[in-house]
Amino acid sequence: MNTTELHALLDRLRAEPHETEWLEFKANRYESQTLGEYISALANSAGLLGKPRAYLVFGVQDGTHEVIGTTFDPAAEKGKGNQPLPLWLSLGLHPNVGFEIHPFDYRGKRVVLFEIHPAFDRPVKFYGTAFIRDGSSKTELAKYPEKERRIWQLRIDWSAQICAQATLTDLDEAAIAKARHEYKTKFPAKIAEVDAWDDATFLNKAKVTIRGEITNAALLLLGKPESSTLLTPSVARISWILKNERNEELDYEHFGPPFILNVDKVLARIRNLNVRELPSGTLFPIELTQYDPWVIREALNNCIAHQDYGLRGRINVVETPDSLLLGNLGGFLPGSVETVIRQDAPSELYRNPFLAEAMVNLNLIDTQGGGIKRMFLTQRRRFFPLPDYDLSQHERVAVTIRGRILDERFTRLLMERTDLDLGTIMLLDRVQKRYPISRDEHRLLKKAALVEGRYPHLIIAAKVAAAAGDKARYIRERGFNTRYYQDMIVDLIKEQQPVTREDIDRLLLDKLPEVLTEEQKRKKIHNLLFELGGRQGRIRNAGSRRYPQWVLNDSHKQ
């Protein structure tokens, strides 16, 4: 805001009859911890009251609302740990809904105004504790459970909010033309009507603007590149990052609005190479691109639709030689991917419902909530690993799309067993990726003769491996029986005794089942030695406990 706008805002605030839950006047500075608590309290109160902003004003006398000036300079103050105060405050707010600091002179007196964004869909905490205003007092939100519940129920749609500073001239003409084309593709019966509409009418009809006013969604999808500043403090950016097999960054590029055009530019940077895979036991190779373009586009547009723009982060697309990782900020609202697949119906909860509906109308996403299952089905038809959703990180969703066959037996299984339902294939996909499954899920797969091995170390079952012509690999992963490994140890000792544990490790580590980790393999060798020495008495330790030297017992030398 410029000085004139700040003066007008201060006049409006001073005209309020008294301080409220969303407005606090202060003659001079607060101690830094108290200041952060007030930002939390004002943000939560503004959210409850439906206010677009809360305000904390320094240099104005409480009661009389007289402008008396202040010596408080936030830029010169320090928070705890000697961090700059604004940074320390921002780091303490979770979620950081945002605040702006406006120092300015008003009739010769210095004023500092904190413009604070409201809480939405969860309370704003300051270093772990949420606060609220009770009248003009600040207190902990935990004392008011009903207010806390109401904040959790808030769903302020950021994407539907009007950007007061934006006009139709801030939208990109080529982006609007693209939007018209996609809208007519989505609704072919309306082609004649659409051609007769001017831009303002079209944008209203497509539900991108509201009564001619420019929404945040409109700026994201159709805004000129420079219009991204109008969304501040929210970030409108997609970052493409190319990495090699050693996770070293090779190249990158950032893309802002208009997303309706720049999604294609992001996709153009991805090296969607042709791959030629020949599963064992097949006569003809599978030749196709690493990624299905629709799957990438759907995943990226989902990131745009479900990004929590209040967290001020960017959408990342990380490309490696064998995979794509797409990530956006904000929790996964349906709870789990399995729930989405099982329900087979659009979710009733959207982080940005206005933006999601606009993207459906502009043919950017297939249907609200139906795209995830189609992504899984598309990967299944391509015989590639299924999309891999990582929901473990707080306030972040990441999906990995693999561009290579991971396990030939899994691929062959998809080619031969077209009768398997998607739920079963999702479990088998977890098995091939060495991810854990529950005992009940294990029993389900074992009953269907699809996996074997001792839980939780599972592999594709023998008959599937045989059908895939991958018997050798099957043996490597299943391993041999215990007697086979014991005889190998005894033969080594017979020929080269005494032998050390390192000698035995070198003999067996690469022969034990590949499904085991390095630590599990060494534990297996320890158990083999214990069985041979302690129970069977075939070998003994002629060295020390710390430095064993294994030899045959006299009774087993022949």
Q: Which of 254, 258, 183 is nearest to 220 (CA)?
A: 258
CA distances 334 to 275, 326, 343, 350, 351, Å, are 34, 18, 10, 9, 11
pLDDT interval class at 157 (50, 70, 90): confident
* pLDDT of residue 477 exceeding 70: no
Q: Which residues contact 245 (CB under 8 A, 6 or more apart)?
A: 320, 321, 322
Phi (first) and psi of residue 73, to 5 degrees: -125, 95
Top mean-pLDDT range of 224-228, 438-442, 444-448: 224-228
- Mean pLDDT, range 203-218, rounded to an integer: 96
Whole-prediction pTM value? 0.60
Question: Which pLDDT score, from 0 to 100, does residue 469 have?
Answer: 46
Phi, psi of 25, rounded to the nearest 5 degrees: -105, 145
As beta bridge partners, residue 110 has 105
Residue 222 to residue 208: CA distance in whole angstroms: 9
Average pLDDT over residues 368-397: 85
Do 220 and 192 meet the contact criterion of CB atoms below 8 Å apart? no
Angle in degrees, CA 157, 398, 392, rounded to 5: 95
CATH architecture of 482-556: Orthogonal Bundle (1.10)
Work out the mean pLDDT of the chain and round it to a whole number.
86
Cα(355)–Cα(70) distance, integer angstroms: 42
User: Per mean pLDDT, which of 74-78, 206-210, 458-462 is the most reliable?
Assistant: 206-210
> Could you tell me if 51 and 20 are in contact, meaning their C-beta atoms sit under 8 angstroms apart?
no
- 127 phi, psi to nearest 5 deg: 45, 50
> For the segment 19-34, what is each residue's pLDDT rounded down to a tens digit?
889 999 998 877 899 9
Asked if 72 and 109 count as a contact pair (C-beta separation under 8 A), the reply is no
Most confident of the ranges 31-35, 133-137, 193-197, 329-333:
193-197
Task: Fill in the amino acid letter for 37.
Answer: E
- Map residue 397 onto helix, strand or coil: strand
Extents of the domains making up the chain:
3-154, 238-350+362-402, 408-478, 482-556
3-state secondary structure 37-93: HHHHHHHHHHHHHCCCCEEEEECECCCCCCECCCCCCHHHCECHHHCEHHHHHHHHE
Average pLDDT over residues 447-471: 69
pLDDT at 279 over 80: no
Q: How does pLDDT run across 107-125, given as a tens digit for each residue?
A: 999 999 999 989 877 899 9
Q: Alpha-carbon distance 148 to 119, whole Å?
A: 11
Residue 467 pLDDT: 45
Q: Sort residue 356 into left (φ over 0), alpha (ψ -120 to 50) or beta.
A: alpha
* DSSP states of 125-138: EETTEEEEEETTEE
Query: How large a percentage of the chain has pLDDT more than 90?
Result: 49
Q: How confident is the model at residue 468 (pLDDT cuts 50, 70, 90)?
A: very low
Q: Would you say 492 and 499 are in contact if contact means Cβ atoms under 8 Å apart?
A: yes
3-state SS of 209-226? CECCECEHHHHHHHECHH
Summarised one tens digit per residue, pLDDT across range 540-553 is: 888 888 888 989 98
Q: What are residue 222's phi and psi, to 5 degrees?
A: -125, -5
Q: If you ran DSSP here, which 8-state letter would residue 114 be given?
A: E
* Pairing mode, strands 315-319 and 238-243: parallel
Q: Which amino acid is at 382?
A: R
One-letter amino acid for residue 495 of the chain: E
Tell me what pLDDT residue 278 has: 52
The answer to whether residue 405 scores a pLDDT higher than 90 is: no
pLDDT of residue 359: 95
What is the C-alpha to C-alpha distance for residues 193 and 501, in angstroms, rounded to an integer? 81
User: 214, 122, 108: which is closest to 160 by C-alpha?
Assistant: 214
Q: Which CATH architecture has domain 238-350+362-402?
A: 2-Layer Sandwich (3.30)
Give the mean model confidence (pLDDT) for residues 47-74: 91
**Pairwise CA distance, residues 206 & 259, whole Å:** 16
CATH of 3-154 among 3.30.70.1400, 3.30.950.30, 3.90.1570.10, 3.30.1490.20? 3.30.950.30
Distance CA 112, CA 128 (A): 26
Measured over the CA atoms of residue 116, residue 122, residue 128 and residue 133, the dihedral's sign is: positive
* Between residues 469 and 340, the one the model is more confident about: 340
Q: Give the pair of three-digit tokens for residue 239.
A: 């970052």
